[in-house]
Amino acid sequence: MTMGYDTNAQRPEKGMYSPHQQGKTLAPGVSCIFLVITCLVHSVHAEEVYFDPRLLENNGQATNNVDLSVFALSDKAQVAGVYNTSIYVNQEKALQQNIRYDQKSDGSLIPQITPDLLRALNVRVDAFPSLTQHPHDAPLDNLTLYIPAANAKFDFNRMRLDLSIPQAAMERKASGYVDPKKWDDGVPVLFSNYTFSGSQRNNKNGSDDSSQYLNLQNGLNLGAWRLRNYSTYSNSDGQQSWDAISTYVQRDIKALKSQLLIGESSTPGDLFPSLQFTGVQLSSDDNMLPNSQRGFAPTIRGIANSNAEVTIRQDGYIIYQSYVAPGAFEINDLYPSSYSGDLEVTVKEADGTERKFNQPFSAVPVMQRPGRLKYSSTVGRYRSNDSGDKEPEFAQGTVIYGVSNEITTYGGFLLSPDYMAGQAGMGFSLFALGSLSADVTQAQTRLDNDQNSSGQSYRIQYSKNVETTDTNFSVASYRYSTSGFYDFDEANQSQDNASQDGHKRSKFQVSINQALWEGASLYLSAYQQDYWRRTNKEKNISLGMNTSVSGISYNFSYSYSQMENQENDQQFALNIRVPLSRWLPQSWATYNVTHQKNGDTRQQVGLSGTALDDYRLSYSLQQSHADQGGGDSSNLNASYRSSYGTLNAGYYYDDHSQQTSYGLAGGIVAHEKGVTLSQSLGDSFALIDTNGASGARVQNIPGLKTDWRGYAVVPYLTSYTENRIVIDTTTLPADVDVTNTSELVIPNKGAMVVAHFDARIGVRVLIKLTRSDGSVVPFGAVAVSEDQTLENIVDDGGVLYLSGVKVEEPIKLHVKWGTSANQQCKASLNLRQSAASVQSVTTPCV
């Protein structure tokens, strides 16, 4: 029979045989040797067991050529060598690397553990004199002799080495800690991450229109340096505009756990409002901390009446534009141009009508861990999105320090020729009542009439997760500013009069999530902003409830928005989603109803789902009806994810117009091996290199597989954290085998790292090895190719199985079944092209 090897096991160092070679298949008859020997060893209680090879021979071969002594020593006997091993310390995985194993007297393997390896595992080597005196790269005979109560246990079947180390002997590291020495700057790369969308609307009255939008996030990596450019293009009814939002160079400063940035960017918005600037910034980076010690773009919710275009602006720039289906929508993948500030959301319906509302954007209270210092320092020139505003030079610094578990202090300053501000505040832990921060900002502004204006701004922020009621106040804040206070943005605005009426007075915002019962939750977000000497206020409220009953999902939502000098807008929506997996896999029937104040009530029924083997195709179809003469409408949307990007398409039709929308998103990555197209890129990403093996898919990423040259880009990686990339071996082409199915990468911020998979492309072949006297090579012989890339054992019929063999290339094999000269031979062959999935040949071995 034929038996497959455990694909999780790894092969030893080249030139050494391992009976568990990954990706190999045992030849006929080999599998029974391990079963029979295991049974005999367990049943005979003796220090040494003899197994008669004649029990395995049935083809007339001589039995004195078969040497199975290594496997007869014990039930744990294995061949010595170097194995790729998962190393666990106190039941937690610490490393994955090659370890050399020697053989003990009973045939079992003993790992060669060195002081260098212990250091890599965060063991306090310097605390043990016997370890410090031992050569750093020499194996330790017995771990217990150097570290009392420590021991090592190796599980060959799982290739897992478990080390038990007393806690006192371990360095105290936070959970999720990754040694900065392992952070990878990546390889040089030039890339562009793009999002393109457009639409064409044809109206029956002849007033046709079209629009296009392009978002480009371009980058160049050289060593630790990152050059970035963020630009957008929009074209609506012939009005075109190119906007370069920011261009900068950046690199990390590992010793400070900080980022150095030179160019156009924005200041952090945790203390002062975020400012666009051109200059130099040095700020701490929480992403360099372990996951357990870290630490926001908001989620935008709204309701669309048709296949609508949603545009989000920040500081006057379009940072997001896409098309949504009718009903309630949620946008949670923003790429903001700064860390806080109001977002202006515009929903443009298929009939051309528009609705606008503001979404505030700010961070939660500033509490830090004890001893944690978070800082930012910026020197540069202020950048305004209004050509009439002043753009002075300025300097800003902020510091946040965790004094204890209960207290965090913070403060900062902002200086420019006509403006000076200082801030001081403190965060408190209220224990069971949550956390609270309070601060005051004193500012002095010289107005255009050369008069000085001074004032204060007071702010209180609150955050709490009420466990008893499962209520989460993600942020609740209130700010009040006196009439003489101006923030830096307001101070630089063009002034129509000396009093500069209309600057900010007070602002309140809150975000609450409440669990109701299992599978049900209620959410509320609201804000209100008013201004000095103005009666109008800006308001926005979003309220909703989600629940699920018997697999059917329900969502009720309400929204209210009011902009200055505009009537308020109110909408209600009910969405129901019913799974249809029993009849159509990964599909749902949907029903939506929306009602707009002083408007119509619209109902939609539809079908949505995903298709293809890895769900890379998604689709939705909807039919709508609106009362009060609103008429009927239909729309169809589809999205397809491939290795080269994501393609979107939509069609909308009603009684008055029809609209076609389209979009393409992805990345273009130029590296030293050529150019690779990819899906949309994250901040850090990886280039997969499979030695030219095409068609290999990556687990858990729909549509992603290696291209015709064997390359693919894994788009989203987490910086300064271990990321494991796994090849789906079930999708490998018939002529491809891989020796490693997963790779671990730890990229720096913005890095492109390389994940190399040792794939072998070639045919599978069964080689019958014959001797000069007409007999076959004995069972158990080890065959290794001259270049040590191919190896396996010979079965009881003298047949050797190899995979990944190149055709039209000579193959030279060294076969050995003992130490004497008459217990080894050499064979050579040259395979030809064949339609057979597995070729069979007979070759002399002399």
DSSP line for 774-822? SPBPPTT-EEEETTSS-EEEB-TTSEEEEEEEPTTS-EEEEEESSSSGG
Contacts of 837 (CB under 8 A, 6+ apart): 734, 764
pLDDT above 60 (res 66): no
Pairing of strands 723-728, 742-745: antiparallel
What is the mean pLDDT of the segment spanning 124-129?
A: 86
* pLDDT at position 347: 87
Weakest-pLDDT range from 137-146, 491-500, 656-665, 706-715? 491-500
What is the DSSP code (8-state) at residue 490? H
Instruction: Pick 276 or 156 by higher pLDDT.
Output: 276
Instruction: Pick 406 or 548 by higher pLDDT.
Output: 548
* pLDDT at position 48: 47
Q: Which of 583, 629, 580, 582 is nearest to 608 (CA)?
A: 580
pLDDT above 90 (res 639): yes
pLDDT above 50 (res 404): yes
Instruction: Pick 17 or 385 by higher pLDDT.
Output: 385
Q: Which of the four pLDDT bands, split at 50, 70 and 90, describes residue 15?
A: very low
* pLDDT at position 67: 53
pLDDT above 90 (res 436): no
Q: Give the mean pLDDT of the chain.
A: 81
Instruction: Provide the token pair at 553.
Output: 């999902």
Residue 208 one-letter amino acid: D
* pLDDT at position 420: 96
pLDDT above 60 (res 454): yes
SS3 labels along 652-681:
EEECCEEEEEEEEEEEEEEECCEEEEECCC
Pairing of strands 471-481, 504-517: antiparallel
pLDDT above 80 (res 315): no
Tell me the three state secondary structure of residue 329. Answer: strand
815-832 pLDDT, tens digit each: 988 777 888 899 988 888
* pLDDT at position 52: 54
* pLDDT at position 56: 52
Measure the CA–CA gap between 350 and 652, rounded to whole angstroms. 8
Measure the CA–CA gap between 659 and 444, rounded to whole angstroms. 53
* pLDDT at position 272: 92
pLDDT above 70 (res 224): yes
345-381 pLDDT, tens digit each: 888 887 778 888 877 654 457 877 778 899 999 999 9
* pLDDT at position 746: 93
Q: Which of the four pLDDT bands, split at 50, 70 and 90, describes residue 13?
A: very low
pLDDT above 70 (res 576): yes
pLDDT above 80 (res 278): yes
Alpha-helix runs per DSSP H in 23-114: 31-43, 69-72
Instruction: Provide the token pair at 472.
Output: 């989460």
State the Cα angle at 593 between 590 and 596, rounded to 5°.
150
What is the mean pLDDT of the segment spanning 56-69?
A: 51
Measure the CA–CA gap between 182 and 159, rounded to whole angstroms. 23
* pLDDT at position 18: 37
* Dihedral, 126, 131, 136, 138 alpha carbons, nearest 10: -160
| Half-sphere CA count of 345, side-chain side, radius 13 A | 24
Instruction: Pick 496 or 419 by higher pLDDT.
Output: 419
pTM of the model: 0.72
Q: Report how far apart, in Å, the C-alpha atoms of 577 and of each of 279, 387, 518, 548, 550 are.
A: 50, 48, 18, 9, 11
Q: Which of the four pLDDT bands, split at 50, 70 and 90, describes residue 585?
A: confident
Q: Which of the four pLDDT bands, split at 50, 70 and 90, describes residue 500?
A: low
